[in-house]
Amino acid sequence: MSRIFLYSFVVIFLFSCASNEERSTIELKSYIIGNAQPIKLSDDTSKLKVSDLFADINGFESASIGDKKLEVKENKIIIPNDWVPAPVSNLRVIYKGVQHDIPLFKSEKLAYTFNYNGGLNSKTVGLAGSVNGWNYKADSLTKTDKGWSKTFKLAPGRYPYRIWVDGKEGLDETNPNTMDNGLGGLNNYFIVGIENEKVELLQTLSPSQDTIFVKAPASLKNILAYLENRLISVERKEDKAFIVIPSSVEKTERTFVRFYADNGSKRTNDLLIPLQNGRPIQQSIDLKREDLHATVMYFMMVDRFMDGDSTNNRPTPDPAIKPQANNLGGDLQGITQKIKDGYFQSLGINTIWISPISRNAEGAWGLWDKGTKSTFSAYHGYWPTALTKIDDRFGNEKAFRELIDLAHENGINVILDYVAHHVHQDHILYKQHPEWTTQLYLPDGTLNTERWDEHRLTTWFDKFLPTWDFSKPEVVSALTDTAMYWVTNYELDGFRHDATKHIPTEFWEELTKKVKSNSKKKLFQIGETYGSPELISSYITNGQLDAQFDFNLYDAIVDAFAKDETSFDNLDRVLNESLKTYGHHHLMGNITGNQDRARFISYADGSVKFSEDAKLAGWTRDIQNQGEVGFNKMASLQAFLMTTPGIPCVYYGDEIGLPGGNDPDNRRMMKFQDWNDNQKKLHDVSSRLIQLRRSNLALSYGELIPLYKDPTTFVFARNYLGETTIVVFTKGQTSSAKNISFDWPFNEIDLKKESFFGQSTIQINGRKCSLDLKGESVGKYGFEIFYN
């Protein structure tokens, strides 16, 4: 019986590890679909909606922490922060007589007073930064005798910002701490608490047939283990902890064991071990496409991927639209053809994300008027005029069903891009209910367009793209129903949700509730939010989305790998921040690029400058690859994505180094032939990296262990059940050899490991590890991987 079916449940017997002589048996049923995400508490009193856990709240009976029963008001569980005894605790919920256990994460926020010791003669001073979504009007400072100040409650970490004095933006001249803003300029920053405070880590060890062992340093005072959604006892002996897997789990094909721990004041990393019929999975052949942590995603814009049916080619016949802003003929049939050709399979892809395919606007819209002039067709799919009809320029129902069926036959998931935030003004629903949208003009008479942060939940993307007013229940009902149309009529595996942060959480909660109630299987939902980790993670809950794309990490990756002058310090910091915020086994999307950024390779080879307008560059220059350096840096980027936690996502064409400025130049037609030598080499390296990710369980499920870092060297390990993979990145090397030595934290000492490029070696001497890097791994690509 599969755990992904809604009305089924897992029935197993747990052996309590409290006594080796007598082990009680406990029947376990779970009415929660999949593994419940840890609940992140506020710094005061948290309110958890019962509907976040269960689509039907009528079966709820009680909730407790330890022996303290929690109050429930209006179907919300009230959780006082001072009732939570440790950084990691357990919430026990009884539903239809069945016990469910869910990890609780206590808030680690601290009070921090920000001071600006300038602007003494100014009328207003505001702070815009990651603390408030870069909206300076959200946090006006209070004038003091020495300047201006405001107190925040913030988690430990680094916070970039800029100052607005009397409506004008600039750097804080009183703070010498600055950092690259990724746009050719600088931001100030301040640090709350201890940035990336070190906590000893959990490590999985080699298992016995029915026992999972974990290296658990004595400093970790509190360890919780879960089998599915049930807390199970953990035994400890010296620096190890272990659980015994009950034999009755053998009746269930896929279950998961999770570990969480803290040292009394801070959480440490989590562990995730998938089980196949009650035994830890130790071979990738046992994984299926439904195992999300083993996902490698590929995103394509339908119109720009492949033309599989020329009879539906219908570019807008308007000379005001330049060719790159018009339909080029790609369609669903083209994607199906590439599945038939084995393109995705040979690359190693097991999930494809396709851009929106609903009926879109006809005619020419918008205007680009810098350096050249052009309007746009709706080739991209993000200007819908019908939310449940397929645009005939992309295909039809038959073509979409054929694509999905063929993908599934070849072990590939299909994720559909869905636009809920807005429609085109020609949409019939907007014409029938114009009152269902937000106002185009603000009270001061200015346009409410592209006010991404200041009016995040009401702004229009353009004057012809009305934004739905999700404060109206009828709007939420209608738009969630149209999303469900795609789930109930097609065998989709998930959604990518456009403009997530511009839609209130009530919509996502209602949609997820309907998904849980009506879908035959667990759907993966991933969102798009540009903002702080706190804002991004606010949409990732049991009642909303599974994940979002990690654009903050992508910015740090670009900074580290595209620029020669930067160090690995910022990448290390942001990576740790992501692991801390989203979990060490998160499902965040880690991208090689996307449709809203200039191509990474064009930044990396210098053909697009970070300081210039990348859209203008794309419109006014013929941007092409500049030698092999960009290809090599792209290979390094892909190596990073394929070896770190999360879901790697390849933007179409990045596997061959397709160049381009920003939109629409980053959306050129995909090339499948006439590749030059650099494109062939990058495709080969990309395929090998993806295949390694798919075949190496440490890269999908292993814990990440930092090993060594200096400004030009970054070394970490992924460890899974005692099998370690070592990953090395270097910068600025002019020689073809480099030696790196560091402390070795693992028990494994008989290292018979291959290296990715075949020339480098690894040696262990006592508790010291030495890497001897040679050949292409140093002077050319700047990375090496050692694996079993």
Q: Residue 643: name the closest of 771, 770, 557 by CA.
A: 557
Q: For position 185, what pLDDT does the model report?
A: 87
pTM of the model: 0.95
Dist CA 485 CA 346 (whole Å): 32
DSSP E strand boundaries for 350-411: 351-354, 365-369, 373-376
Q: For position 13, what pLDDT does the model report?
A: 40
Angle 569-582/551-561 helices, nearest 10 degrees? 160
Task: State yes or no: pLDDT of 69 exceeds 90.
Answer: yes
Residue 749: both structure tokens together: 């000492």
Residue 120: which region, alpha, beta or left (left: phi > 0; alpha: psi -120 to 50)? alpha
Contact at 8 Å (CB) between 527 and 21?
no
For residue 438, what are the contacts with CB-CB under 8 A and spacing of at least 6?
448, 458, 459, 460, 466, 467, 468, 469
Q: Which backbone phi and psi does 20 adopt, to 5 degrees?
A: -75, -25
Q: For position 497, what pLDDT does the model report?
A: 98
Average pLDDT, the chain: 93
HEC readout, 214-252 = EECCCCCCEEEEEECCEEECCEEECCEEEEECCHHHHHC
Helix (H) or strand (E) holding 617: helix 614-620
Instruction: Please compute, for residue 6, the number of CA atoms within 13 A of its CA located in the half-sphere on the CB side.
Output: 16
Decide: helix, strand or coil at residue 668: coil
Q: Which residues pair with 728 in a beta bridge?
A: 715, 784
Mean of the pLDDT values across residues 667-677?
98
For residue 25, name the pLDDT band (cuts at 50, 70, 90).
low
Dist CA 738 CA 328 (whole Å): 47
Helix-strand-coil percent breakdown of the chain, rounded to 5? 25, 30, 45
pLDDT tens for 616-656 read 999 999 999 999 999 999 999 999 999 999 999 999 999 99
For residue 247, name the pLDDT band (cuts at 50, 70, 90).
confident
Q: Residue 528: name the closest of 496, 504, 503, 506 by CA.
A: 496
For residue 518, name the pLDDT band (cuts at 50, 70, 90).
confident
pLDDT tens for 446-493 read 999 999 999 999 999 999 999 999 999 999 999 999 999 999 999 999
For residue 341, what are the contacts with CB-CB under 8 A and spacing of at least 6?
none
Task: State yes or no: pLDDT of 767 exceeds 80.
Answer: yes
Task: State yes or no: pLDDT of 20 exceeds 70.
Answer: no
**How far apart, in Å, do the first and last CA atoms of the chain sit?**
34
* Residue found by looking up tokens 């490991």 in the block: 753
pLDDT tens for 184-216 read 789 999 999 999 899 999 999 999 889 999 999
pLDDT tens for 146-178 read 899 999 999 999 999 999 999 999 999 999 999
Q: For position 577, what pLDDT does the model report?
A: 96
Q: For position 26, what pLDDT does the model report?
A: 53
Task: State yes or no: pLDDT of 21 exceeds 50.
Answer: no
Helix (H) or strand (E) holding 127: strand 125-129
pLDDT tens for 550-590 read 999 999 999 999 999 999 999 999 999 999 999 999 999 99
Q: For position 18, what pLDDT does the model report?
A: 37
Q: Residue 559: name the closest of 179, 129, 133, 161 by CA.
A: 179
Contact at 8 Å (CB) between 53 and 25?
no
What DSSP line would sit under 669-722, residue for residue? PP--S---HHHHHHHHHHHHHHHHHHH-HHHHHPEEEEEEEETTEEEEEEEETT
Angle 677-695/629-643 helices, nearest 10 degrees? 10
For residue 27, name the pLDDT band (cuts at 50, 70, 90).
low
Dist CA 770 CA 763 (whole Å): 5
Ranking 75-89, 237-251, 395-409, 462-476 by mean pLDDT, the lowest is: 237-251
Task: State yes or no: pLDDT of 14 exceeds 70.
Answer: no
Q: For position 28, what pLDDT does the model report?
A: 64
Which DSSP state fits 466? P
